[in-house]
């Protein structure tokens, strides 16, 4: 199962708003994890199948058996520094040979930061408000070494932006609590990037 992803629109400055939640932007790549009848399938935002590349994500830590579709970011976090290493993740993404993948699972395991629940036990959750989807996600999914529910903060987007950028992060995602999940860029999901990351994007263009 795959659902076309909702994307963020760029916004100029951080802000505070009771109608929004705010999440740190993770330096990884978008991932959907379909877990239907205990069978995992992993897809990038462009519907590339990467199930083989990340075997450590095949066992989903659900509190009870369920069919789910999870949306989030996969990343590699250096265990010594706590820093996200995109190049290490890219190396994992490009691997095709099973022995190398098994070794990389042991030496450079990835983590999946889940920020949305799109499907649960036969129900398409996209028409439901974001905060309801998040609350259900929190009830059914446990965190472990490989799976992390995305941290979010209500209202205080400016404070989270200051904290993230102080730690050299990319910026924050700003999402309306009542937003439904729709394909493409929608007004309900915004991103505010740090000045350093904006400069890197311009250099890369």
Q: DSSP assignment of 35-56, as one string?
A: EETTEEEEE-TT--B-TTT-GG
pLDDT value for 186 = 85
**Which residue range(s) make up the domain with 39?**
6-204
pLDDT value for 167 = 87
The average pLDDT across 115-123 equals 98
Instruction: Residue 143: give its domain's CATH number.
Output: 3.30.470.30
pLDDT value for 198 = 65
The average pLDDT across 98-112 equals 97
Is pLDDT above 60 for 202? no
pLDDT value for 200 = 56
Is there a domain that residue 1 lies in?
no
pLDDT value for 199 = 60
Is there a domain that residue 116 lies in?
yes
Is there a domain that residue 40 lies in?
yes
The average pLDDT across 98-125 equals 97
What Å distances lie between residue 195 and 11, 13, 113, 162, 202, CA to CA?
A: 12, 10, 24, 12, 11
pLDDT value for 197 = 73
**Average of per-residue pLDDT values in the chain:** 94
Is pLDDT above 80 for 108? yes
Look at the chain and report how many structural domains it folds into: 1
Quickly list DSSP for the chain. ---PPEEEEE-SS---EEEEEEEEPPSSEEEEEEEETTEEEEE-TT--B-TTT-GGGSS--BSS---EEEEEEEE-B-TTT--B-HHHHHHHHH---HHHHHHHHHHS--EEEEEEEEEETTEE-TTS-HHHHHHHHHHHB---SSEEEPP-EEE-HHHHHHHHHHTT--EEEEEETT----SEEEEEEEEEE-HHHHHHHHHH-
The 10s digit of each residue's pLDDT in 137-167 is 999 999 999 999 999 999 999 999 999 998 8
Q: Is the pTM of this model over 0.85?
A: yes
Task: Output b/e per residue, 51-74; b: 16+ Cβ within 10 A.
Answer: eebbbbbbebeeeeebbbbbbbbb
Is pLDDT above 80 for 82? yes
The average pLDDT across 158-187 equals 94
The average pLDDT across 82-101 equals 95
Is pLDDT above 50 for 205? no
Chain centroid to Cα 25, Å, comes to 8
The 10s digit of each residue's pLDDT in 19-60 is 999 999 999 999 999 999 999 999 999 999 999 999 999 999
Is there a domain that residue 167 lies in?
yes
């Amino acid at each position: 199962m795959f659902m076309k992803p909702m994307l963020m629109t760029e916004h100029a400055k951080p802000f505070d708003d009771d109608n929004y939640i705010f999440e740190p932007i993770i330096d990884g790549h978008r991932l959907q994890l379909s877990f239907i009848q205990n069978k995992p399938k992993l897809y990038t935002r462009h519907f590339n199948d990467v199930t083989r590349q990340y075997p450590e994500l095949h066992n989903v830590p659900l509190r009870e058996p369920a069919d789910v579709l999870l949306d989030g970011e996969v990343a590699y976090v250096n265990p010594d520094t706590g820093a996200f290493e995109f190049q290490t993740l890219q190396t994992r993404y490009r691997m095709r040979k099973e022995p190398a993948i098994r070794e990389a699972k042991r030496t450079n395991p990835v983590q999946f930061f889940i920020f949305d629940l799109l499907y649960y036990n036969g129900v398409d959750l996209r028409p439901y408000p974001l905060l309801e989807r998040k609350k259900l996600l929190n009830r059914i999914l446990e965190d472990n070494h490989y799976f992390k529910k995305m941290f979010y903060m209500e209202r205080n987007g400016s404070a989270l932006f200051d904290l993230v950028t102080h730690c050299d992060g990319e910026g924050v995602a700003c999402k309306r609590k009542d937003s439904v999940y729709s394909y493409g860029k929608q007004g309900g999901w915004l991103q505010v990037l740090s000045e350093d990351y904006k400069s890197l994007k311009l250099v890369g263009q």
